[in-house]
A and B are shown apart, each in its own frame.
Chain A
Amino acid sequence: MNILLIEINPFIPPSTPISIAYIAAFLRWHGFHVNIMNIGENTPFSLHLLSSYICDFKPGLVGFSTYQRNILSVIGLANYIKSSDPKIKIAIGGPQATFMPSSALQPMGSIDYICREEGETALLNIALAIRDGIDNTVISGSSCKCEDGLFYDGPSVEAYSDLDRYPSPYLHNDLIDFSNLEEAILFTSRGCPYGCVFCYTPNAFKRKVRFHSIERVIEEIEWIYRKGIKKFWFADPSFSINIDRIDRLMEEVLRKNLKIHIWLETRADLVNNELVKKMKAAGVYLVAYGLESASKKVLEGLKKNISLNDMRRAIKLTQKNGIDVELFTQYGLPHENFGDAMKTLQFLKDNDVKIRGNSNSQQMQVYFGTDVFNSCQEYGVRPLERDMPAYMSIGRQYETEYLSSDDLKKIRLIWEKESLDGVKRKVS
């Protein structure tokens, strides 16, 4: 059976479709013929091209990476694909899908499945069910609409605890086309043990962290390096959650004399001078830390369990070692007032962090699966729109007990005015 996986982000340049590439590699390993369609800003794409592609490739299953920002495109593509051949099954996965209510299947029309668990296993179960002709039953790891017109949630499926059991999206594959990509995105781990209330990851990964072996990561880096890519973006939520492991990884990069440039994000309390020094030697040019807010009161309410002193120390030692620092910050956070928001801006200035790239602040986005979404009243968050389609979360359409829409707009404009690059964030 042919499976088509689609990543569509018409507002940003195409980047490595790493998540669906993992899934594609896994499904191929299980004998399916899988192709990836990666559509970004300026990727030539039309209804005619889509129609020709579907006609030529004849997929039995189409999967989409789904985010709040691309949901309209996903629904539109799904509707067209379904209308061109009603037998094609359509599944969505990704951060917007995991905790989306099952009732959203109704307004989304052509979507047959919502993946609830790790993409590889959830989509494999769907693919196997379609192949074996039992796709009208409840499938583990996903929700679906059955013949009786009702929505059903399948039982959980256990994800692999050893990430190396998932085949590499890079090695022995032609899944990723590097011709238009500047850098490679890699994961060395998945999940995060912390419980930040604004983040979807703790609930999605049940606060567990799983790892790839250092050997596998190095093998991937070397393979990509040989393809001529020298910039690497490590997308782990907390890259140095295990300091010894990262020390070994940096050591290996140095030992193999790989001249690469690394961007990574981690927590301010997960670095020390020795590690940062080694990171610098191995080619790390930028470390992004999640500050969120420089108001002690607000920060404590986010349950991030990090102090402003940790943050100052980490920034200082990173800068001292010649590595640039980015700080992820947000405004419109629970229990934050206008003065608190301004403290965050001042913190960046006081610590010589340039307001550009990912250091441009953004309003908190209230996504499905976050504690703030689940208990928005408790966090003082008031959604502005009651008629939102069921597949949309609150996002940024809210006010808080202390910040009105006008306040939030004012804060945004202040940050925009301070931005050195016209607000060019890379991570949202």
Chain B
Amino acid sequence: MPQGSIRKLYLIMDRGSGYSSQEFQEYFTGLFPYLDISADIYLIAEDMARDFPRVRETIKQIALFLKRYSFYRINIHPVHPLPFEDLLKGIYNDFFQIINPFNREGYLHQSVSRIMILPILVAEEKDDVGLLNRCLDFLRDRLMVPSIYIPGDASTGGIKGIVRSDKERIYLELTGGDKLERLMNTLGVHSVFDELMTWANAPVKGSLRGCPSIVLREKDGDIYNCFKTAPSKQSVSNLYSMNSLSDLSMTFETHENNRNDCLNCAVESLSLMKDTLRINDREKEAFSISFHLGMELVKQEDYDGALEHFDRVLTGHTDFEDMGTILLSKALCHLRRNENEKAMVTLEEAERHIPSSAMIYYYKGLCEFGLRDYIEAIDRLQDALKMGYDRLPLGDVYFYAGLSHINIEEYGDGLAMMNRAEEFFTEKSPLYYYMGLCYLGMRDLDAALDYLKKALVCKPQKENLSSIHFYLGLCYKEMGRHEDALLDLKRARDTEEGRKDIHNLMGYCYFKLKEYDDAIQSFMRTVEIDPNSAIDYANIGVNLREKGEIEKAIPMFKKALGLDPSIGFARKHLAEIAEEPS
């Protein structure tokens, strides 16, 4: 079953000399089955006096369609400059005659009319407020909810307060381009904003979808699936040249799947709408949207963008009802950006709004962990567990508590926490790795080997491979199994060649196996990686001395002592060499 339907259709009534009006209507009505059962159609006309017959015919066609299919409801928005008062009255009296049977039907069915005319009048500089008011009242009396569009060059003086309900809107022109394009773009931004608002108010929020709208130019029949692509002439289809209308459905679906900047467009609409919301007394809506957009950006790991939205709410709407949640999410953004101090300050503020919140204590635990105060981290995470909350990510809480214990070498407690975390994790490799470290710390080398091997089997992330092999090598080394150790250490080295500790441990194992050349080569690599590693110069010296290359060993010991005079065994070797008969 094909998905999707056209929820908003913008018809730019810019007919040139091409197809006749009748031809256009024939093709246009073919689009109707693809309209959503609750659709909005915008009829954008530059000059209503000239375009009236075509606008009227279009409304008539829509009414005929609705008469046939009583599960459809369509809002029609004629968008046009304000004509002479008498002309406007004549035009809308005519429209009223077309829709009046639907008003009667609505009354009998105790429902709103299935066809609504919601005009958007473009007020130009010459139009005085008195005229506007008379026209709006005339429309209201005929159950047509009017809105006003203010072009960029017109004054907004006296406009505020002209609309009487939240259904009546004032549209401030938002973008550039020619006259029709400006209209189109402004309506498009409003539409994106409305979709954003619907999404923000929905109890269950999926991902933010693209606006299900299309733009159709009467002049050439070009169809655009995004109002932003209309000015750049990137049409997705053409009304006149399609083989069949089912092609249209396929085309929309293909393009629907290719939308990738809808979230950016939504974000942009919010900032473009700033003045419009102010003049419509709808600023609070913007804060609510910023809140939900911020949350969506957190999900997409765009923490910079999320912080921008959260800060907008926190500075602009100090009595926002979800203040606690917003501060908590802001703290999470700071945490993810490793701004632990900022996160902590935000959490303290959040706590004033939602005291005794397990989530706050969980995040505080993460902050302390990030600040390497592991004892505090353990305390905060324990607090979170004591408070209890069904959405607390228990696995993560136990995991970070375990890591904190490991970091202060409380391996028994660390192991206990990792054991508790195990039931919550599907990817168990990191858990087994840290459990292996705990056993290693507790000197239970067999158990450590078991867990580190399990960590290897459970498909670890590539970046963790070298550490697992390294600690396996360390276990073998502690068991005196230097050849086995070298097998794992080589694997560790092959995965992450630039790690000094791997080469150092390899050098040690080669030394124990009396393979001094290989040992020297390993320690040489460590000092290449870290030229200030005094101990490794000393290690090179020891191996050279074992090989009998005393002359080469002496400068190595001296170099080591030069870097770190506290290396006792380098001094001892030098002293022994000095005492040896030459």
Please give the residue numbers on chain A whose beta carbons come within 8 Å of chain B beta carbons, in ascending order.
8, 10, 13, 39, 41-42, 44-49, 51-53, 56, 68-69, 71-77, 79-80, 179-182, 230, 259, 385, 387-389, 392, 395-397
Stretch at the interface among B202-210, B225-233, B273-281, B415-423: B202-210
Contact of A73 among B36, B71, B110, B249 (CB under 8 A): B71
Question: Which residues from chain B contact A395 at a C-beta distance below 8 Å?
Answer: 110
Question: Which residues from chain A contact B3 at a C-beta distance below 8 Å?
Answer: 44, 49
In the complex, the answer to whether B1 meets A53 with C-beta atoms within 8 Å is: yes
Contact of B38 among A10, A49, A71 (CB under 8 A): A10
In the complex, the answer to whether B111 meets A72 with C-beta atoms within 8 Å is: yes
Please give the residue numbers on chain B whose beta carbons come within 8 Å of chain A beta carbons, in ascending order.
1-7, 32-38, 69-73, 105, 107-111, 114, 198, 202-204, 206, 212, 249, 390
Report Cα–Cα, A73/B105, bound state, in Å.
Answer: 13
- Say whether, besides A72-B109, A259-B390, A392-B110, A46 and B35 are in contact (CB < 8 Å): yes
Q: In angstroms, how far is the closest chain A Cβ from the Cβ of B570?
A: 62
The contact sample of 12 A-B pairs, CB cut-off 8 A, is: A8-B71, A42-B202, A44-B7, A45-B36, A46-B5, A47-B33, A48-B2, A56-B1, A73-B37, A76-B72, A385-B107, A392-B108
In the complex, the answer to whether A13 meets B69 with C-beta atoms within 8 Å is: no
In the complex, the answer to whether B34 meets A80 with C-beta atoms within 8 Å is: no
Q: In angstroms, how far is the closest chain B Cβ from the Cβ of A82?
A: 13
In the complex, the answer to whether B33 meets A51 with C-beta atoms within 8 Å is: yes
Question: Which residues from chain B contact A230 at a C-beta distance below 8 Å?
Answer: 390
Contact of A48 among B34, B38, B107 (CB under 8 A): B34
Q: In angstroms, how far is the closest chain B Cβ from the Cβ of A328?
A: 20
Question: Which residues from chain B contact A41 at a C-beta distance below 8 Å?
Answer: 38
In the complex, the answer to whether B36 meets A44 with C-beta atoms within 8 Å is: yes
Report Cα–Cα, A4/B510, bound state, in Å.
Answer: 76
- Say whether, besides A48-B249, A76-B72, A10 and B108 are in contact (CB < 8 Å): no
In the complex, the answer to whether A68 meets B37 with C-beta atoms within 8 Å is: no
Report Cα–Cα, A396/B35, bound state, in Å.
Answer: 31
- Say whether, besides A46-B5, A47-B69, A56-B1, A389 and B249 are in contact (CB < 8 Å): no
Q: In angstroms, how far is the closest chain A Cβ from the Cβ of B358?
A: 13
Chain B: CB-nearest residue to A45: B37
- Say whether, besides A13-B202, A48-B5, A76-B72, A389 and B110 are in contact (CB < 8 Å): no
Q: In angstroms, how far is the closest chain A Cβ from the Cβ of B13?
A: 23
In the complex, the answer to whether B204 meets A388 with C-beta atoms within 8 Å is: no
Report Cα–Cα, A79/B68, bound state, in Å.
Answer: 9
Q: In angstroms, how far is the closest chain B Cβ from the Cβ of A79?
A: 7
Report Cα–Cα, A397/B108, bound state, in Å.
Answer: 9
Chain B: CB-nearest residue to A178: B204
Chain A: CB-nearest residue to B2: A52
In the complex, the answer to whether A72 meets B70 with C-beta atoms within 8 Å is: yes
Most buried by A among B5, B33, B70: B70
Contact of A46 among B37, B70, B108 (CB under 8 A): B37
Contact of B33 among A46, A68, A71, A389 (CB under 8 A): A46
In the complex, the answer to whether B212 meets A49 with C-beta atoms within 8 Å is: no
In the complex, the answer to whether B2 meets A13 with C-beta atoms within 8 Å is: no
Question: Sorted from nearest, which 5 A-B pairs have the closest CB atoms?
Answer: A76-B70, A76-B71, A46-B5, A259-B390, A47-B33
Contact of B71 among A51, A77, A396 (CB under 8 A): A77
In the complex, the answer to whether B1 meets A45 with C-beta atoms within 8 Å is: no
Question: Which residues from chain A contact B38 at a C-beta distance below 8 Å?
Answer: 10, 41
Question: Which residues from chain A contact B390 at a C-beta distance below 8 Å?
Answer: 230, 259
Report Cα–Cα, A180/B204, bound state, in Å.
Answer: 6
Chain B: CB-nearest residue to A365: B110
In the complex, the answer to whether A182 meets B5 with C-beta atoms within 8 Å is: no
Report Cα–Cα, A72/B71, bound state, in Å.
Answer: 6
Chain B: CB-nearest residue to A259: B390
Most buried by A among B33, B37, B73, B202: B37
Contact of A49 among B5, B109, B204 (CB under 8 A): B5
Report Cα–Cα, A68/B35, bound state, in Å.
Answer: 25
Question: Which residues from chain B contact A46 at a C-beta distance below 8 Å?
Answer: 5-6, 33-37
Chain B: CB-nearest residue to A394: B110
In the complex, the answer to whether A49 meets B108 with C-beta atoms within 8 Å is: no
In the complex, the answer to whether A42 meets B33 with C-beta atoms within 8 Å is: no
In the complex, the answer to whether A80 meets B204 with C-beta atoms within 8 Å is: no
Question: Which residues from chain A contact B70 at a C-beta distance below 8 Å?
Answer: 72-73, 75-76, 79
Question: Which residues from chain B contact A49 at a C-beta distance below 8 Å?
Answer: 1-3, 5
Q: In angstroms, how far is the closest chain B Cβ from the Cβ of A364?
A: 13
Question: Which residues from chain A contact B4 at a C-beta distance below 8 Å?
Answer: 44
Report Cα–Cα, A6/B37, bound state, in Å.
Answer: 15
In the complex, the answer to whether B2 meets A385 with C-beta atoms within 8 Å is: no
Question: Which residues from chain B contact A388 at a C-beta distance below 8 Å?
Answer: 108
Chain A: CB-nearest residue to B389: A259
Chain A: CB-nearest residue to B110: A395
In the complex, the answer to whether B108 meets A389 with C-beta atoms within 8 Å is: yes
Report Cα–Cα, A10/B206, bound state, in Å.
Answer: 19
Report Cα–Cα, A48/B6, bound state, in Å.
Answer: 11
| New A-B pairs, 17, CB < 8 Å, besides A46-B5, A46-B34, A72-B111 | A10-B71, A44-B36, A44-B212, A46-B33, A48-B249, A51-B33, A52-B1, A52-B2, A69-B110, A72-B109, A73-B70, A74-B71, A75-B70, A385-B107, A385-B108, A388-B108, A395-B110
- Say whether, besides A8-B71, A385-B108, A181 and B204 are in contact (CB < 8 Å): yes
Question: Which residues from chain B contact A69 at a C-beta distance below 8 Å?
Answer: 110-111
Chain B: CB-nearest residue to A68: B110
Report Cα–Cα, A332/B114, bound state, in Å.
Answer: 27
Report Cα–Cα, A385/B204, bound state, in Å.
Answer: 40
Contact of A42 among B72, B110, B198 (CB under 8 A): B198
Chain A: CB-nearest residue to B212: A44
In the complex, the answer to whether B37 meets A10 with C-beta atoms within 8 Å is: yes
Report Cα–Cα, A182/B202, bound state, in Å.
Answer: 10
Question: Which residues from chain A contact B35 at a C-beta distance below 8 Å?
Answer: 46-47
In the complex, the answer to whether B109 meets A71 with C-beta atoms within 8 Å is: yes
Question: Which residues from chain A contact B72 at a C-beta distance below 8 Å?
Answer: 47, 76
Question: Which residues from chain A contact B203 at a C-beta distance below 8 Å?
Answer: 13, 182
Report Cα–Cα, A44/B203, bound state, in Å.
Answer: 17
